[in-house]
Amino acid sequence: MNEKTVTFIVDGKEIKARPEQTIMKACDEAGVYIPRLCAFKDLSPFGSCRVCTVKVNGRPQAACTQPVGEGIVVESQTAEIQQIRRNIIDMLFVEGNHFCMFCEKSGNCELQAMAYRLGILAPKFPYMFPVRGVDASHPDIFIDWNRCILCARCIRTSCEIDGKNAYGFIGRGPHKRVATNSSAGLKGTDADVSDKAPANCPVGSLMYKRIGYAVPIGCRLYDKNPIGSDIEMKKTT
């Protein structure tokens, strides 16, 4: 067994890690939460949302993909980095149609929870109000593209966990969106209610049907505790 450890600094705190770990994995184990949206514990790192941006020896890097290194100095909770994160969340809100007031995911939504954690009262960029559709053709699952933040967690879950290939990206830049692997839409794919993909969607974009609003307001995942507090709890244990 390789017992080698590396030591690095995050916001002035010394953290020990195994050399093969990413900065995010090492920080998670040490009880230091780095905000993230596309990174997910059961999936391989993707590095697309950039919410986990940290400065490594002064250079911005995605903590979910950047490996640890001996003696590196990582800045995460600085005013500058937090503002970068706020800007990213702001942009995600204005470039979609995020109607929290009637969304089934509200209270359990990671995008919303991230905005709460970062103390965002209103996005500062102009709303784009894009015209996007819904695919409700499948009997048990639906896609609402209005809420999609292009994190690829559905695509990766379908491949890596469900062993399918139900979703994929099409288009580039502002035209990029998640597509289903069938011209007939979701009903033409092998997506199934037992798939993990809908469960791993951070927002209300890929959802199981008929379970909305099951948990009352006040008891939902992020009603009382900010996102990431489960990781930060490790600090005290």
Partner 1 sequence: MQKPKIATASLAGCFGCHMSLLDIDDRILKLIDLVDFDKSPVDDIKEFTGRCLVGLIEGGCCNEENVRVLQEFRKHCDILISVGDCAIDGGLPALRNGIPLKECLTEAYITGPTVYNPSGKIPSDSEIPLLLDRIYPCHEVVKIDYYLPGCPPPADTLWQALTALLSGKPIDLPYELIKYD
- Nearest 10 degrees: Cα torsion 151, 157, 160, 165: -100
Is 226 exposed, middle or buried, given 0-12, 13-18 or 19+ CB atoms closer than 10 A? Answer: middle
Smallest gap from residue 93 Cβ to partner 1 (A): 8
Near partner 1 by CB under 8 A: residue from 12, 58, 126, 216: 126
For partner 1, the binding residues in 78-117 under the rule CB under 8 A are 93, 97-103, 106-107, 112, 115-117
CA–CA gap between residue 166 and residue 182 (Å, rounded):
8
Instruction: Point out which residues pair with 10 in neighbouring strands.
Output: 13, 74
Contact 28, 231 (CB under 8 A): yes
Per-residue binder mask for partner 1 (CB under 8 A), 163-202, x = binder: ----------------------------------------
CB atoms within 10 A of CB 159: 18
Contact 169, 155 (CB under 8 A): yes
Shorter beta-carbon distance to partner 1: residue 85 or 117: 117
At 235, which amino acid appears?
Answer: K
Shorter beta-carbon distance to partner 1: residue 129 or 169: 129
Smallest gap from residue 220 Cβ to partner 1 (A): 10
214 binds partner 1 (CB under 8 A): no
Smallest gap from residue 125 Cβ to partner 1 (A): 11
Near partner 1 by CB under 8 A: residue from 45, 123, 202, 204: 123
Smallest gap from residue 107 Cβ to partner 1 (A): 7
Residue 117 neighbours by CB under 8 Å, 6+ apart: 35, 226, 227, 228
For partner 1, the binding residues in 132-151 under the rule CB under 8 A are 132
CB atoms within 10 A of CB 156: 21
CA distances from 56 to 68, 82, 184, 185 (A): 10, 15, 46, 43
Smallest gap from residue 146 Cβ to partner 1 (A): 9
Total residues at the site for partner 1 (CB under 8 A)? 29
Shorter beta-carbon distance to partner 1: residue 132 or 164: 132
Shorter beta-carbon distance to partner 1: residue 104 or 195: 104
Near partner 1 by CB under 8 A: residue from 130, 134, 139, 169: 130
Q: Which residues of 95-108 are buried (b: 16+ CB within 10 A; e: fewer)?
A: bbbbeeeebbbbbb
Shorter beta-carbon distance to partner 1: residue 112 or 158: 112
Residues making contact with partner 1 (CB under 8 A): 93, 97-103, 106-107, 112, 115-117, 119-123, 126-127, 129-132, 217, 223-224, 226
